[in-house]
Structure 1
Amino acid sequence: MKYALLTFLATGLLWSCQPKQSTAPVYEADVIIYGGTSAAVIAAVEVSQSGQSVLIVSPDTHLGGLTSGGLGYTDTGNKSVIGGLARQFYHKVWLHYNDSAAWVWQKHSEYGNKGQGTVAMDGENRTMWIFEPHVAEQVFEDFVKENNLTVYRDEWLDRENGVSKNGQQIISFKTLSGKTFKGKMFIDATYEGDLMAEAGVSYHVGRESKDTYNEQWNGVQTGVLHHQHWFKANISPYKIPDDPNSGVLPRISTEPPGEYGAGDDKIQAYCFRMCMTNHDENRLPFPKPANYDPGQYELLLRVFETGRTDWLNKFDPIPNKKTDTNNHGPFSSDNIGMNYDYPEGSYERRREITQEHKDYQMGLLWFVANDPRVPEPIRTEMANWGLAKDEFTDNGNWPHQLYIREARRMIGEYVTTENDVLLKREVPKPVGMGSYAMDSHNVQRYITPEGFVQNEGDIGVHPPGPYSISYGSLTPKPEECTNLLVPVCVSSSHIAFGSIRMEPVFMILGQSAAVAAVMAIDGSHSVQEVPYAELEKRLLAKKQVLTKVH
């Protein structure tokens, strides 16, 4: 009996030491899309409608990225080049606002119908370009429902050996929850490009020099002052004006900005696009952050002291007495210089940066609305505004998406540069078009040789007309990966990406990437070998706009 008991215990101990069989779930589809952006949803719709199976693996809970995250005053550029499923999105928004029930806080007739270079609600073309965040999110959810899409939310790529490859092909990737997603083709539709990076695809972070691609507007742009986002008066950067020994005010770099035209590893500023309202029934007064520090905004007081009164200039109206409020002026919602670690940062570091941006911007709103040192007309007007109670209701009425204006950019088969945007060369294999200005927000705030504070990096250069974007800017180099497409972190220079980075363009490129992915599966091709003549034919049949006579 004693021997039998010892044998049983020994057998149990041996069994407990054996490696356990993995029970981690594996999910398979023809196309796996990583991301929850507008491009991700549109790409999934296209794959489904083309007859292939597709999964969206989204680190986000809310779908739509910036389109549903506060950027409702759409950067359309030339809206005639927005076709395909992207135009269908804006048509669905039009259908929503064409119903009188959509006008909750104001009458439709009271809405000014103003958009960026176009009317907001275009009845002739049945499109609506300006919208509330929750409306955009509902349109994306409707896309999901109508096309029976499967979405795995809050699933974060395991960035430590989470991508499995066989040669140049991705086989699968794992998420932090333990799930594995296996596919034939993959699309990285994130703002950060994590899947692309973990798959071993080359990319760039920061600004290339102006000589890298023979560009005028790339690299450090000291002395180039576009828009209104620079210090027009001489303002001392020091705590005690004109006394360098007193120390520097917050959010001013003491490092030299770099030589004009030189490359660096800095990126344009991020912010939250705020949905605000001055309609009392729907207004939540700006909350005061727990770690509020009015000293962070001392530089803004000095801006006001110079007589600048344009603080309220970017409260762009969207329906129902709300705004899409963006950065405006030399010291505003753009948190200049505080995001350099974000593109390649760990998830924890990114969360820290996101929280710091939230604290900064929430404190800024409180400061301008409440601090008695703010000029009375601006303070009084600002106090009439607040967060919209019916937006972002599960996040304290705060946007759920930080505006990642730029992170990684792939170095793929073809690099789009300002020479493409400015129509200086013919673009091979076009799969969509852009038209917005090459728009970079400020990259750094520094001290000039004369001892004054200044911003650098804000650029706004308009192309002479719409320009084509090459299929090669969506595909990695074949020696790096053959079954991945990248419609957001596209292969482009910093300044060219300043135009490409508009939400309608991401949707356009998301659909084109999906069409190519389906063709690659059907023809057993690598993404680089997809026959362009057939790709062009299919895209045109789906009403994508690829080229335009100027």
Structure 2
Amino acid sequence: MLTACTSTKKQDTIDADVVIYGGTSAAISTAVQLVRMDKSVLIVCPDKHIGGLSASGLGFTDLGNKSVIGGISKEFYEEVYKHYQNEEAWRWQPKDEYGNVGQGTTAIDDEYKTMWTFEPHVAEQIFENFVKEHNIKVIRDKWLDRENGVKTSNGKITSITMLDGTTYKAKIFVDATYEGDLMAAAGVSYHVGREANSVYGEEWNGVQKGEYHHSHNFQQLNISPYVIPGDSTSGVLPRISTEDPGENGEGDHRVQAYNYRLCTTNAEGNVVPFEKPENYDPAEYELLRRVFRGGRHSMFGGGKIPNKKRDVNNVGPFSSDNIGMNYEYPEASYDKRKEILEEHINYHKGLLWFWGNDESVPKELREDFKKWGLAKDEFVDNGHWPYQIYVREARRMLGEFVMTENEILGKNKVDKPIGMGSYTMDSHNTQRYITKEGFVQNEGDLGVEPPGPYQIHLGIIMPKKEECKNLLVPAAVSSSHIAFGSIRMEPVFMILGQSAGTLAAMALDAEISLYDVPFEALDKQLREDGQILEYKAPENTEK
């Protein structure tokens, strides 16, 4: 498939029809589609473990309407289903004891032959099987030289070079990273943070003080942010911003919070107890003590996945979302990103220790919590900690078309669909600030439901033609902040990856630009390969 073999030794130049940078689920689906259309493809990624968040803890799938998930994306969930049909897959609990509840649907869907909840190692193995079955070469632990490694000529990328000096050439490149690193290094326009509502005529973008769509806010607890409650001269507690939060609807630089989607268990024999971090500082969690004293005890949420495990996510006003500590991450250097990741890990590990040991936590909750730990059979070469932080949002391309809430809410028509989405426009908190009344509050947590599944425009994976003619971007796509809150789901990333692969293969076959592929032909090919491009609600049979 490739013009040069690969090895652990440094190579000068390696060629393929298409080079994909990144190891996410979008990267895998892109590569699979390219191989099925008889193109040579190479995945080059900084990751050692492929699959992105799907294989790094997010096993309780953010789903929406399952009927609009087709193609390779659906194949992935069909493979999950096949795996768990085998009784041997149920090592830590009988299958019939598993509560068959997913994210808005049944977890094990016998009608569709799909399963929407899964363990991380199972997802990773399915992605590895996809790679092996399609003879896809994956070169891991390769980091793009973001300063000098992208060479362009006549509006096209000609090669990309890694920090170790290895260079990769292709006719078409794909940036399948969550961060949009290749896109940015190629000089493509992008945005970080929230746009003002006025930019795209939206309602739910920008600052959203006073909007409490979930339980992840302090609301009426009226908790003082000061070291000595009520005394503003005593200093501000950790993890509370003293900056002006801005006015509603204004744009800002803030990015919705990241966390790790832990895989935890209480299955006897598979529990790795939560450990006290070396630099644990209980003062970092004083705000959480005040939450408990205020009567809010939510702390250890998460969806049930097989074998007595949980995909643990943020829950409540002070939880695993490390609010306000990720603003620099999207554009940070590799070294700075490493610092940010270490800070997030230390914060999260300290939080786990706090929940199990701090006397402000009710005794019965502490005792129950200590039955849980990290799953011993997950992330076995990484201290049982997820490989990938949950980059909910980073750079977002400013491409040929920008998806906004107006398309997702059905106000604007999409004329060139390459897939569909359906999940809530979901943004986690972006800041924790002090109100005018002198209390602490979170801001940015939203959940705005679309009226139904919506079409996703071809232009969101394509840079502006005048900026780069041979690059596709199926993850850091062209959308507003709030629209990205729905598009950013793993099933959709796989859908967009397949469509990117299809477009690239068709352009190569016809020896034309990505921008000259007739949409009618692309539409036909996508449908033939199982993509769902339109949705018709089932008729109401009630009399």
TM range (shorter): over 0.9
Taking the aligned partners of 1:373 and 1:425, their CA distance within structure 2 comes to: 50
Taking the aligned partners of 1:375 and 1:328, their CA distance within structure 2 comes to: 17
Does residue 535 in structure 1 map to residue 522 in structure 2? yes
CA deviation after TM superposition for structure 1 residue 311, in Å: 2.2
Residue 235 of structure 1 corresponds to which residue in structure 2?
A: 223
Taking the aligned partners of 1:539 and 1:377, their CA distance within structure 2 comes to: 54
Residue 4 of structure 1 corresponds to which residue in structure 2?
A: none
CA deviation after TM superposition for structure 1 residue 123, in Å: 1.1
Residue 95 of structure 1 corresponds to which residue in structure 2?
A: 82
Residue 306 of structure 1 corresponds to which residue in structure 2?
A: 294
Does residue 154 in structure 1 map to residue 177 in structure 2? no
Give TM-score scaled by structure 1 length. Answer: 0.95
- 3-state SS, counterpart of residue 46 of structure 1: helix
Does residue 358 in structure 1 map to residue 339 in structure 2? no
Taking the aligned partners of 2:368 and 2:235, their CA distance within structure 1 comes to: 33
Taking the aligned partners of 2:360 and 2:463, their CA distance within structure 1 comes to: 53
- The amino acid that maps onto 2:227 is K
Tell me, yes or no, if the aligned pair for 1:43 and 1:514 is still in contact at 8 Å: yes
- 3-state SS, counterpart of residue 433 of structure 1: strand
- The amino acid that maps onto 2:198 is D
Does residue 42 in structure 1 map to residue 29 in structure 2? yes
Does residue 261 in structure 1 map to residue 253 in structure 2? no
The residue correspondences of 1:323-362 to structure 2 (distance < 5 A) are 323-362=310-349
- The amino acid that maps onto 2:372 is W
Taking the aligned partners of 1:95 and 1:71, their CA distance within structure 2 comes to: 19
Residue 281 of structure 2 corresponds to which residue in structure 1?
A: 293
CA deviation after TM superposition for structure 1 residue 24, in Å: 4.9
Residue 463 of structure 1 corresponds to which residue in structure 2?
A: 450
CA deviation after TM superposition for structure 1 residue 289, in Å: 1.1
Identity %: 62
Partner deviation per Cα, 1:319-366 (whole Å, 9 max, x = no partner): 000000000000000000000000000000111101100000011001
The residue correspondences of 1:109-508 to structure 2 (distance < 5 A) are 109-232=96-219, 233-312=221-300, 314-508=301-495
Residue 18 of structure 2 corresponds to which residue in structure 1?
A: 31
- 3-state SS, counterpart of residue 192 of structure 1: coil
Taking the aligned partners of 2:513 and 2:446, their CA distance within structure 1 comes to: 37
Partner deviation per Cα, 1:26-83 (whole Å, 9 max, x = no partner): 1100000000000001110110111000000011000000000000000010010000
Taking the aligned partners of 2:119 and 2:128, their CA distance within structure 1 comes to: 15
Partner deviation per Cα, 1:214-237 (whole Å, 9 max, x = no partner): 000000001111100000310000
Instruction: Give the count of matched residue pairs.
Output: 527
- The amino acid that maps onto 1:37 is T
Q: Which has the larger radius of gyration?
A: 1
Tell me, yes or no, if the aligned pair for 1:311 and 1:378 is still in contact at 8 Å: no
- The amino acid that maps onto 2:252 is D
Taking the aligned partners of 2:155 and 2:200, their CA distance within structure 1 comes to: 27
Tell me, yes or no, if the aligned pair for 2:277 and 2:350 is still in contact at 8 Å: yes
Taking the aligned partners of 2:450 and 2:383, their CA distance within structure 1 comes to: 40
Q: Which blocks of at least 5 consecutive residues in structure 1 are unaligned?
A: 1-22
- The amino acid that maps onto 1:340 is Y
Tell me, yes or no, if the aligned pair for 2:292 and 2:360 is still in contact at 8 Å: no
CA deviation after TM superposition for structure 1 residue 280, in Å: 2.1
Partner deviation per Cα, 1:290-326 (whole Å, 9 max, x = no partner): 11111111100100111112223x2311000000000
CA deviation after TM superposition for structure 1 residue 372, in Å: 1.8
- 3-state SS, counterpart of residue 244 of structure 1: strand
Tell me, yes or no, if the aligned pair for 2:419 and 2:532 is still in contact at 8 Å: yes
Taking the aligned partners of 1:509 and 1:349, their CA distance within structure 2 comes to: 30
- 3-state SS, counterpart of residue 221 of structure 1: coil
Taking the aligned partners of 2:399 and 2:86, their CA distance within structure 1 comes to: 44
- 3-state SS, counterpart of residue 212 of structure 1: helix
- 3-state SS, counterpart of residue 247 of structure 1: strand
CA deviation after TM superposition for structure 1 residue 425, in Å: 1.1
- 3-state SS, counterpart of residue 284 of structure 1: strand
Does residue 515 in structure 1 map to residue 502 in structure 2? yes
Taking the aligned partners of 1:171 and 1:295, their CA distance within structure 2 comes to: 52
Taking the aligned partners of 1:399 and 1:532, their CA distance within structure 2 comes to: 40
Structure 1 segments, 4+ long, off by >4 Å, are none
Tell me, yes or no, if the aligned pair for 1:206 and 1:266 is still in contact at 8 Å: yes
CA deviation after TM superposition for structure 1 residue 378, in Å: 1.8
Taking the aligned partners of 2:98 and 2:494, their CA distance within structure 1 comes to: 27
Give TM-score scaled by structure 2 length. Answer: 0.96
Residue 15 of structure 1 corresponds to which residue in structure 2?
A: none
